Amino acid sequence: MTELTAIKARVKEIILDILQAEGNVVELTDETPFFGTEEHPGVIQDSLAILEISSKLADEYCLFPSDFNEEAFQNVQTLSEVIVAKVNENAVAVV
For 37-81, the pLDDT digits (tens) are 888 888 888 889 999 999 999 999 999 988 998 899 999 999 999
pLDDT value of position 79: 97
3-state secondary structure 21-61: HCCCCCCCCCCCCCCCCCCCCCCCCCHHHHHHHHHHHHHHH
- Amino acid at residue number 85: A
pLDDT value of position 9: 97
Q: Give the pLDDT mean for 13-20.
A: 92
Using an 8 Å Cβ cutoff, are 57 and 68 in contact? Answer: yes
Could you tell me the pTM of the whole model?
0.88
pLDDT value of position 38: 80
pLDDT value of position 20: 86
Q: Decide which of 3.40.309.10, 3.40.50.11540, 1.10.1200.10, 1.10.10.10 is the CATH code for 3-94.
A: 1.10.1200.10
Using an 8 Å Cβ cutoff, are 41 and 72 in contact? Answer: no
Q: How far apart are CA 70 and CA 79, in angstroms?
A: 10
Name which residue leads in pLDDT, 26 or 8.
8
